[in-house]
Chains A and B, each alone.
Chain A
Amino acid sequence: DAGVIQSPRHEVTEMGQEVTLRCKPISGHNSLFWYRQTMMRGLELLIYFNNNVPIDDSGMPEDRFSAKMPNASFSTLKIQPSEPRDSAVYFCASSPDWLAYYGEQYFGPGTRLTVT
C-alpha cells in the first residue's frame, strides 16, 4: 500500500497567491483529516471528512481556507489569498471508520508551505 500521498511536498509562494494542497488517502479509508503544524501552535486539526462530507471544520482558521473532498480518493485544501502566517507544515491523515472512532490515523508526509 502506498500510504497517504500528499502533493506538493514543498511549496513556496508569495503573499496574496492562491495555494492548493492535495491529498490522496489510503484506499478504503473513509475518514480524512487535515492538520497544520507550527512551532507556536503545535499540531492543529483543521477539518475532518467522513464519507466525503465535512463533519467538523471548526479548526479552519478563517474564510481564506477551504477544503473539499469531491470523491473518496482525493481531497484539497486551498488558501486564498495566502499570508506569511500561513507558513506551516500541512498534514493529511486518513483512517477507516472502525479505527477513526478509536483515534488511530495514518498520516501523509506533509506539505511544507512557505509564504513570503
Chain B
Amino acid sequence: AQSVTQLDSQVPVFEEAPVELRCNYSSSVSVYLFWYVQYPNQGLQLLLKYLSGSTLVESINGFEAEFNKSQTSFHLRKPSVHISDTAEYFCAVTGNTGKLIFGQGTTLQVKP
C-alpha cells in the first residue's frame, strides 16, 4: 500500500521569499511522484512529476522538486514566490496501477 504525508497544512510566506512544501511517501514498490496545484475554485493541474532519471525535476513556472529515495521525500521548492502562486498544493504517488494517492494538501498563502 502507498501513502503520502504532507507535513504542513498551511504555509504563509511573503512575496519574493523562498518556500518549501514538504512531502513524504511510503511504498513497498517503485513509485512515480507528482505535485498537483489547485487554484481557487478550479480543478487540479499537474505541476511537475518524477518518473525516472534525474532526481531534480522542474516546472515551467519556477518550482522544482527533488526525489530523495533514502528519505522517501519529494519536497517542492521555489526560490522566490509570487502572489499568483497562492493555491493549494497536493503531493501524490502512484505505483504501477495508475491510481493516484494524494496527500492532504498544503495551502500556500503568499502575502504582499
Contacts and interface: CB of A to CB of B under 8 A. Distances in A.
A108 B42 CA distance: 8
Interface in A73-116: 91, 93, 95, 100-105, 107-110
A101 B98 contact: yes
B102 A42 contact: yes
A107 B32 CA distance: 18
A25 to B, nearest CB: 13
A26 to B, nearest CB: 12
A4 B32 contact: no
B105 A42 contact: yes
A56 interface: yes
Contacts of B73: none
A43 B98 contact: no
A45 B92 CA distance: 12
Contact of B99 (A56, A91, A107, A108): A56
A26 B53 CA distance: 29
A104 B36 CA distance: 10
A34 interface: no
B104 A107 contact: no
A53 to B, nearest CB: 14
Contacts of A103: 32, 34, 49, 92-94, 98-100
Nearest to B99: A45
Given A42-B104, A42-B105, A104 B46 contact: yes
Most B CB within 10 A of own CB, among A43, A56, A93, A100? A43
B96 interface: yes
Interface of A: 4, 31, 42-43, 45, 48, 56, 91, 93, 95, 100-105, 107-110
Given A42-B104, A43-B102, 15 more contacts: A31-B98, A43-B90, A48-B99, A101-B96, A102-B49, A102-B51, A103-B32, A103-B92, A103-B100, A104-B46, A104-B49, A105-B46, A109-B41, A109-B42, A109-B43
18 contacts: A42-B102, A42-B104, A42-B105, A43-B90, A43-B102, A48-B99, A102-B32, A102-B98, A103-B49, A103-B92, A103-B93, A104-B46, A104-B49, A105-B44, A105-B100, A109-B41, A110-B42, A110-B43
